[in-house]
Structure 1
């Protein structure tokens, strides 16, 4: 059984049709800033993308060259694998109705190549509510497929609560977890990380890290502003030394908050559409969070600068075409800029 409250379930369709701008709008940060001036001589670049799924694409999506160039500039690209990777769905009816997710290994490989992301630089979280949509066997197929593709994973129990990855000269610990499940807790235990309490993370896993990054699957979908629970958890994570938090699950862009020296991006939206092929325009706005981390001796592991880069997922026949905000025109661009102006205070460049 899933762990969604009834009020959440009842609000899903209304909020999908009309994503909400309601909630507390206070205390959020601008969408880009330089935090170390002058900038460090040595830097490592991380790029965080949103949820990845084949739901809105029959074939390979198209990518704006500006987006591909941006992703190619990163030392690591971190995203959320929202759909199990299987050759044939086991939950056939649920998959056809859109209640269960699935994508093929070929689709993911082609999408990653089209986006300009080198596989050895891509890191995907499996800590999300859809991880067992195709059953335990589907989860195992997903892990095996990503291993064949040479794509590293985070958010599995087998990998540990904090997984250490090298990014240039830096050692970064990634703690990915989900607060939501589409299946019973027993099925998730031992497979998908639900370790949201940093006080319980093993100390040895945190030793000698330059930066700890949390990748939570949290919040309520189709709401542009995080709820109190997510903001409280972000403070708890920051209080335990997590310097960077990049969240998923809302399927719409959410704001940034700075908590001391920590940076929180509550929700990046979808990278590839995950909630039906035809989606209201606010849900088609996505973002890429680019964070430069200092590798200089005096500021090693500190966030030197960050910027949210926004794009829109447009239809191209049966597939999506990702266009940078700068490339949009007319009413759609004006609507997107107006909405982003509500979510992010101040200038966005």
Structure 2
């Protein structure tokens, strides 16, 4: 049994059809910002993307060269593997209907190649509600497939709540967890991390501790108060960077002291039906530059959200930067992004918003 409250279940379809802009929109930061001025001489670049799935794609996506180039600038790329990686789904009917996720090892490899993501630079989280959609055997097959592909994983109970990843001169701690599950608790126990309490995490030996949570409610652009409270708890325990997913729509950024929180990056590849309402087809790549200079080692120097759109193209999706959209679609997407992300405050030393060129 899943752990979703009844009100959540009842609101899923209405919010899927019409993602909500309701909620508390106060206290959020612009979509880009500079935390260190002057900029450090040496940095390490992290790039985060949202959920990746084959639900809306029968073949590998087409990816705009600008998105490929952006991902190519990163020293480490982190995303969420929303679908079990299996050769043959065991939940046949659910997989056909899209309620149960699955993607083949070949599809994942081709999708990553299409996006220009080098496997040796990639880390995928398996801490999400769909990871056991194909049962325990499908979970084991997923772990084995990612290992064969040379992709590092986070969000598994095995190995502890935080994984240390060496990125250039920096040691980055990555802690992934999910608040939601689609299967019984005993199936998740011992396999998938649901530990959201940072007081139980090791916090020493890392130059920067990052959380990658699968949290909040789906199809809501502004995070719930409980989600923001958890972000403050994580920041208070030394987590310097948070990049979340599960909402399937873009959500704002918050700065809590020196901690930067990107609440939701939307989907990288569609996770809910092939023909989805347009607000759910907006995604983002969250690029963070981290100082590697002596004296500021591991401090966040700057961040920027890069919005893109997933357009339908026959049996797959085409990922394009928002800047390349035209006509009415461009107007709608820019309007939605402007409603989610505040403009930089006057007098503050912020980078220009990536949305500024779209207004």
TM-score (structure 1 length as normaliser): 0.98
Give deviations 1:95-132, integer Å, cap 9, x for gaps: 11111100000000000001001000010000000010
Secondary structure at 1:320's aligned position in 2? strand
Matches within 5 A, 1:31-46: 31-46=31-46
Name 1:220's counterpart in structure 2: 217
CA distance in 1, matches of 2:43, 2:113: 25
Secondary structure at 2:192's aligned position in 1? coil
Name 1:126's counterpart in structure 2: 126
Name 1:70's counterpart in structure 2: 70
Aligned residues: 346
Name 2:137's counterpart in structure 1: 137
Name 2:348's counterpart in structure 1: none
State the Cα distance separating 1:298 from its structure 2 match.
1.1
RMSD (Å), alpha carbons = 0.6
State the Cα distance separating 1:200 from its structure 2 match.
1.4
Name 1:239's counterpart in structure 2: 236
Secondary structure at 2:110's aligned position in 1? helix
State the Cα distance separating 1:323 from its structure 2 match.
0.5
Secondary structure at 2:230's aligned position in 1? helix
Matches within 5 A, 1:59-208: 59-201=59-201, 203=202, 206-208=203-205
Structure 1 runs of 4+ with >6 Å offset: none
State the Cα distance separating 1:160 from its structure 2 match.
1.4
State the Cα distance separating 1:53 from its structure 2 match.
0.1
1:334 to 331, 335, 341: 331
State the Cα distance separating 1:159 from its structure 2 match.
2.7
Task: Give yes or no for the alignment of 1:294 onto 2:299.
Answer: no
- The answer for unaligned runs of 5 or more in structure 1 is none
CA distance in 2, matches of 1:11, 1:50: 22
Name 2:13's counterpart in structure 1: 13
TM-score (structure 2 length as normaliser): 0.96
CA distance in 1, matches of 2:141, 2:126: 12
Secondary structure at 1:289's aligned position in 2? strand
CA distance in 2, matches of 1:168, 1:30: 28
- The answer for unaligned runs of 5 or more in structure 2 is 345-352, 355-359
